[in-house]
Amino acid sequence: MRLTEFEGKQIFSKYKIKIPKGFLISNPKEIVKNLDFNNFNEYSVKAQILLGKRGKLGAIQFADKSNLSQVAKSLFNKKFEGFDVNKLLIEEKISLDKQFYLGITLSRKDDSYILVFSEQGGADIEEISKSSPESIKKLAILKPQRKNLIRFFPNSKFKDKLIDTAMKLFKIVYDYDAVLVEINPLINIKNHLVALDSKIIIDDNALFRHQDIAKEKEMQLSRIEREAFHLGVSFVQLSGNIAVISNGAGLVMATLDLIDYYGGKPANFLDIGAGAGMKEIFEGLKMLLEEKPKGILINIFAGMTRCDEIANGIIKFRKQYKIKIPFVVRMIGTNEEDAKLMLKKENIEMLDSMEECVKKIVKEIH
């Protein structure tokens, strides 16, 4: 779960990492009352959307007092890659002197966290990491101590402050179950390091330990995303017309790839997960139907899941909603014989082969 820049900076502030002066608004009218305490020559106006490269997208703009309201208004009226702008962070515009990159994320290879640092931070950090990889320093580290970091950071007048900031970022990683904490750029203002931006991603699996954040984020989901969240399934909208329900991320992806291979277009990714039952399949089907697909494909390979429970959900769904679009079912695994009998009574054919099932739905919708 990704936090907005402002939410991340609130956390930085709590850990005594310096951030620029500024204020958050959800309406241009809120600017006036904030100006007394935020009297700057120039302002950065930053849309609080969950996208990278905001500068290049035009989601960060600059203004002075005379046109601040206007710039804010125009940003509120814009959409960036489908995201509405609901909040703006307005800060003192700071001229960039030294720009560092500092981040911590996961390293699979090392089964640990990895600290990443560059003296050439900024929006082009990824390009720099490719063109001059030697300028990026990395250190896989589990329990950071100052003495490890002394060797890591190059000697400069910023060294102590960089160590200090890195230690704070590690504390945030541990305290918040973060899988990414990133400051880019980290800049020098009068010999203080200031986080000009923030990027924090919290491990979704650990949200039960961070109820306040979980609640806040839930408010930001779309209708269908929220339904999926409550149902405990993972859903992603795609652009095609064949609705897909399957179990296990790998099998869902294999199903989508097969639809593509045989010339169809999947409408979504929906993984009802291991051990899903009647409720997940019923509610999942209901969710997909609302998006008006041309056909529905169910592909369940049951280990933890039991086919008979899935069959019950399918039968209930078909009875409640009179389905006229092509509807194919492939189920195999735990209790498949019971499921086959149950579906047969309702005149629903249950196929054994995933490839046959995909071919059938692609053919039927054409």
Partner 1 sequence: MSILVNQKTRVIVQGITGNQGSFHTKEMLDYGTNIVAGVRPGKGGQEVFGVPVFNTITEVLKEKKADWSILFVPAPNLKSAALEALNNNLNIIIITENVPIKDTIEIVNIANKKNLKVIGPNCPGVVSNSKIKIGIMPNHLFNKNGPIGVISRSGSLTYEISKHLSDANLGQSTVLGIGGDPIIGIDFIEALKLFEKDKETEKIVLVGEIGSDTEERAAEFISKKISKQVVAYIVGKTAPEGKRMGHAGAIISGNTGTALTKIQTFNKFGIEVAKIPSQIPKLLKN
Binding site for partner 1 (CB under 8 A): 2, 52, 101, 103-109, 111-114, 116, 125-126, 129-130, 136, 138, 142, 174, 177, 179-180, 182, 184, 199, 201, 203-206, 208-209, 236, 238, 246-251, 253-254, 256-261, 266, 269, 273-275, 300-304, 332-334, 354-355
CA dihedral of 165, 168, 172, 178, whole degrees rounded to 10: 40
Q: Helix or strand or coil: residue 18?
A: strand
User: Of 81, 152, 95, which is closest to residue 119 (Cα–Cα)?
Assistant: 152
Closest distance to partner 1 from the beta carbon of 259 (Å)? 7
Q: Could you give the C-alpha distances from 151 to 25, 94, 278, 332, 343, in angstroms and in order?
A: 42, 31, 56, 56, 66
Nearer Cβ to partner 1 (7/177): 177
Output 103 or 326, the one with its CB closest to partner 1.
103
233, two tokens: 């399934």
Q: Which is nearer to partner 1, 129 or 241 (CB)?
A: 129
Identity of the residue, 72 or 242, whose beta carbon is nearer to partner 1 in the bound complex: 242
Closest CB to partner 1 among residues 180, 189: 180
Shortest Å, Cβ 260 to partner 1: 5
3-state secondary structure of 45: strand
CB of 303 to partner 1, least distance (A): 5
**Which residue from 272, 247, 276, 244 is spatially nearest to 257, judged by alpha carbons?**
244
Nearest CA to 48 out of 77, 24, 12 is that of 24
- CA 366 from centroid of its chain's CA atoms: 34
Question: Based on CB atoms, which residue is closest to partner 1, 64 or 124?
Answer: 124
Q: Please, which residue, 92 or 203, has the CB nearer to partner 1?
A: 203
**Chain length of the chain:** 366
Give the dihedral of Cα atoms 20, 24, 28, 32; nearest 10 deg. Answer: -70
Q: What are phi and psi of 31, to 5 degrees?
A: -65, -50
Q: For residues 140 and 138, what is the distance between their CA atoms, to the nearest angstrom?
A: 7
In the complex, the smallest distance separating the C-beta of residue 49 from partner 1, rounded to whole angstroms, is 14
C-alpha to C-alpha distances, 107 to 102, 104, 127, 141, 207, nearest whole angstrom:
15, 9, 20, 9, 21
Q: Sign (positive/negative) of CA torsion 112, 117, 122, 124?
A: negative
